[in-house]
Amino acid sequence: MVRNIIKVRNLKVSYGDRTVLDSVNISVKDGEIYTILGKSGSGKTTLMRSILMLEKSTGIIEVMGVDLNKANNDDKDLIKKSYGVMFQAASLFTSLTVGENVAVPLKEGANIDNNIIFDIVRFKLSLVGLDENVFNLYPYELSGGMRKKAALARALVLDPKIIFLDEPTSGLDPVSADDFDKTISELNKLLGITVVMITHDLDSFFGISNRACVIRDKKVLAEGTPYDIMHQDDKWLKNLFFGNRGRKFTQWNQR
Ligand code: ADP
């Protein structure tokens, strides 16, 4: 049986006296691609940031069996080391080359020999489909899709068990977005990395997600496969899938 790598129970997060998430329950299985859906401002990023230990919360957030709200700092550090994170803006350092950017997490940790660092960086770049000559380019010299891939390579550099992606395909043209999805799916299959991603991109949702949750009114409206989610009797979801922007829905439903 596939175990839950992340289990969230009764999660509550407030900013000041405003509660943003209340009684949230989700389960992410080991090795799956899990999507967090919901309107803008519904609390998707807050949920992800809580799992990343960047927000104060109450309730249970269990990652690989460790309850983060009760864990000591050593256990929390171990869990943090198993995370790779790519935020929306891809946020590469503009004054560093791609290779130097990808190497940053390696240099922050142990004292590793430069030759080994560069070998690891080259390997990670090749894993996301970027070739050798990208190593010495600066972020401004890359296309949007390549920048996202470089940020993904950096998220992968410490061999994470789980990667967190916040709207990874936003701002990309459809071809680059499909290419990025393909890369995520290949990494997930090849390395068994669990992927947790926030997306508004229905092509990604139907194309590569195994399961998903929908955040609504501070809670989880639904959790399940894309098929389960699509068949929820909910006005916002129906509008999302059946409205003008529900591009792949029709093709997917005919499979
Ligand atoms: P989403 O990712 O679904 O767009 P967020 O999790 O970013 O939603 O935000 C959920 C709600 O919490 C929004 O109303 C947002 O304005 C509010 N919020 C997010 N971060 C903060 C913060 N640091 N301080 C106060 N309010 C915040």
Domain residue spans of the chain: 4-82+162-254, 92-159
Could you tell me which residues are beta bridge partners of residue 19?
Answer: 14
Could you tell me which residues are beta bridge partners of residue 75?
Answer: none
The closest alpha carbon to 26, from 211, 235, 167, 203, belongs to: 211
Confidence of residue 41 (pLDDT cuts 50, 70, 90): very high
Mean pLDDT of 156-161: 93
Burial 104-116 (b: 16+ CB within 10 A, else e): ebbeeeeeeeeee
Confidence of residue 218 (pLDDT cuts 50, 70, 90): very high
Give the rounded percent of residues in the chain with a pLDDT score beyond 90.
65
Rounded distance between C-alpha atoms, residue 51 and residue 31, angstroms:
17
Q: Which two tokens stand for residue 63?
A: 């990652």
For 160-180, write each residue's pLDDT tens digit. Answer: 999 999 998 888 889 989 999
Judge whether 179 and 149 are in contact, CB under 8 Å.
Answer: no
Q: How far is the CA of 2 from the centre of ligand 1 (A)?
A: 32
Question: Hunting for tokens 């972020």 — which residue is that?
Answer: 139
Judge whether 186 and 176 are in contact, CB under 8 Å.
Answer: no
pLDDT at 154: 93
Burial 182-199 (b: 16+ CB within 10 A, else e): ebbbebbeeeebbbbbbb
Q: Is 199 in the pocket of ligand 1 (CB under 6 A)?
A: no
CATH of 4-82+162-254, one of 2.60.120.260, 3.40.50.300, 3.30.200.20, 3.30.460.80: 3.40.50.300
**Average predicted confidence (pLDDT) for the chain:** 90
Between 20 and 107, name the one with better pLDDT.
20
Q: Does the predicted TM-score (pTM) go above 0.75?
A: yes
Atom nearest to 166 CA in ligand 1: 2
Any idea which of 47-51, 146-150, 246-250 has the lowest mean pLDDT? 246-250
Rounded distance between C-alpha atoms, residue 83 and residue 28, angstroms:
14
For atom 14 of ligand 1, the residue with the nearest CA is 41
Q: How far is the CA of 43 from the centre of ligand 1 (A)?
A: 6
For 181-195, write each residue's pLDDT tens digit. Answer: 999 999 999 999 999
Q: Is 37 in the pocket of ligand 1 (CB under 6 A)?
A: no
For atom 24 of ligand 1, the residue with the nearest CA is 15
Q: Is 38 in the pocket of ligand 1 (CB under 6 A)?
A: yes
